[in-house]
Structure 1
Amino acid sequence: MSLSCLAVAGSAGAAELELQGRRLVVSGTLDGSKVKAFTEHLSSGTVRTVVFEDSFGGTAEAAGAYADAIRESGVQTEVRGHCMAACAYAFLAGKTHRFGHGLQVNGILVPVATRPTAAELAVRWRGEEARKTLADFTPAPANADAARPIETNATAPAPKDNWQPDHGVLFTASPTLFGRIYNTYYCDGTQGRDFSKCERLSDADPYKLGVLTE
């Protein structure tokens, strides 16, 4: 299996939640539509692990809400399949975070504004640093444009997140006969969903960087 497996991605709808025993499976786009239900599930004390399954993005605001709920409840997180952008930041908030077992290729793409240096990679997604980097992509407050003249009969568009689709650092795990092979890539966004065009990063083991903990 290769990076081409990650490129086969259907259109993702709104977030969906499914409680499976003590595991809460989250799929779809983290757009905020299920934040309240998600928080209630975690507040109940029943959930031990949040499993993100084929979640292809969402908003920075929703990512922060999911991450806060995960962090406050102290649950573990797991990825099965794809976990992109907003999903990635929610995933990193887990007490422990891991890739799921099975024959699927697992991939997590964490947005970045620019190509990170080796020094930045070493600390970027550990503890409070993960919150700081998420804040880099949060839309500016609505009052930031207060000084601008108000146009009549015009509908102001909602502020957009600053991250670009498919631009970030991609961590993958591919199953083989001899176990899983882990790789890390920098994707500048021009590759679209053809992640085989991303640049492979050396010395960027996801365990050493704190992206995976078990």
Structure 2
Amino acid sequence: MALAAVAGNTAHGMELATHGNTIVLSGPVTGTELVMVKDAFAANPKIDLVVLRNSHGGDAWTGYRVGELLRDAGVTTAVSGYCISSCSRMFLGGKNRLFTDDYPADRTYVGFHGHYDASGNLDRKSVGKGGLYTWILKYSDGKADPDLVMRWIAIEKNKGAANFFHPDVGATLGNSVFFCDGLTAQKVTSCEPIATNALDRGVVTDLRRIASPDQNTLPERQRAQQFAPSGYAALDDLGKLPLAAPAGSEQYQRYLQANLPRAFAVAPTRQHWAWVSGGAEDVNAAALKRCEERAKQACVLYSVDNNVVYR
């Protein structure tokens, strides 16, 4: 689905960008979004796709109201990256609901939990007042598992959630739904696996993975083009890793679990390495610098993000 971007604007809450008959919403939900989305529909009544991208949610009331607005409009919603908390209610508002392929499948998911106070603790009164349980059952088209919904609306800390990935993720991770209680810090896919999937439980209505109209402008997509695979090895092929020390392989496996952007550098001696992930710094330059400080000689990049670039 390729559409040209014709406009873009921001508000104090989510960022809204318009691309033809698609709008992309990203970032925190602060309460300004209902008016913003209404204005977007008023400006273009032909909008038929709403992409929700990389949002941890925020204002609970707004999530409900935007979700209801989207259902009334009969539009399709699609998740790009992560969409959690009040963002997930916006997503469920879509008449049709899909995953995108903007990001890797194991980093694209919808996360559900309860309502929380400013300290991140469960606000049971707000959950009841908002009618979260019945709302989820309704907007999942009656497919949500009542017992699982009861579990996720009672999660004590806002860091926890019931996270739904595309069912295909189960082929590599063993499962596609993971329940995090929020009490301990852990990677989403390391949380409790739940034997169900997003399609059966009405989180999505279609297993297609579509491309957002602005996909090629995403920084990670641009990095993937700039640092294309060299063909030397598959990303997870430890046997090709040019390091002699077992500790190097262990560190590379940790690197594979790290957030993007990320870079892994190695020294020609096969004895030294370094890797960096996330943050605002240039991860490529930082990994090379750390490796060279350890090796006392020039290093080269072995991997950038999800590609092996070593030759």
TM-score for the superposition, normalised by structure 1: 0.66
> How many aligned residue pairs are there?
167
2:198 maps to amino acid: P
1:108 aligned counterpart, secondary structure? strand
Aligned partner of 1:15 in structure 2 is: 14
User: Are 2:201 and 1:209 aligned?
Assistant: yes
Q: Distance in 1 between matches of 2:203 and 2:174?
A: 15
- Contact 2:25–2:53 at 8 Å: present in 1 too? yes
Shift in Å at residue 103 of structure 1?
4.3
- Contact 2:85–2:114 at 8 Å: present in 1 too? no
**Alpha-carbon distance change, 128 to 174 in structure 1, aligned in 2, over 3 angstroms:** closer
Structure with greater Cα Rg: 2
Aligned residue runs from structure 1 range 18-97, under 5 A: 18-43=17-42, 44-97=44-97
Aligned residue runs from structure 1 range 151-170, under 5 A: 164-170=157-163
User: Are 2:190 and 1:188 aligned?
Assistant: no
Q: Distance in 2 between matches of 1:21 and 1:179?
A: 36
2:81 aligned counterpart, secondary structure? strand
- Contact 1:42–1:69 at 8 Å: present in 2 too? no
Q: Distance in 2 between matches of 1:30 and 1:55?
A: 8
**Alpha-carbon distance change, 64 to 94 in structure 1, aligned in 2, over 3 angstroms:** same
Shift in Å at residue 16 of structure 1?
0.6
1:70 aligned counterpart, secondary structure? helix
- Contact 2:143–2:200 at 8 Å: present in 1 too? no
Shift in Å at residue 183 of structure 1?
0.3
Q: Distance in 2 between matches of 1:169 and 1:71?
A: 22
2:197 maps to amino acid: D
- Contact 2:157–2:183 at 8 Å: present in 1 too? no
Q: Report the structure, 1 or 2, having the larger strand content.
A: 1
Shift in Å at residue 199 of structure 1?
0.3
User: Are 2:158 and 1:171 aligned?
Assistant: no
Greater relative CO (CA pairs within 8 A, separation 6+):
1
Q: Distance in 1 between matches of 2:88 and 2:181?
A: 17
Shift in Å at residue 196 of structure 1?
3.8
Q: Report the structure, 1 or 2, having the larger helix content.
A: 2
User: Are 2:141 and 1:127 aligned?
Assistant: yes
Shift in Å at residue 129 of structure 1?
8.3
RMSD: 3.6
- Deviating 4+ runs (over 4 angstroms): 178-182
2:199 maps to amino acid: Y
1:208 maps to amino acid: D
- Contact 2:81–2:103 at 8 Å: present in 1 too? no
In the alignment, structure 1 segments of 5+ residues that lack a partner are 1-12, 115-119, 138-161
Q: Distance in 1 between matches of 2:174 and 2:16?
A: 30
- Contact 1:25–1:50 at 8 Å: present in 2 too? yes
Aligned partner of 2:262 in structure 1 is: none
**Alpha-carbon distance change, 16 to 163 in structure 1, aligned in 2, over 3 angstroms:** farther
In the alignment, structure 2 segments of 5+ residues that lack a partner are 1-11, 116-121, 123-132, 207-311
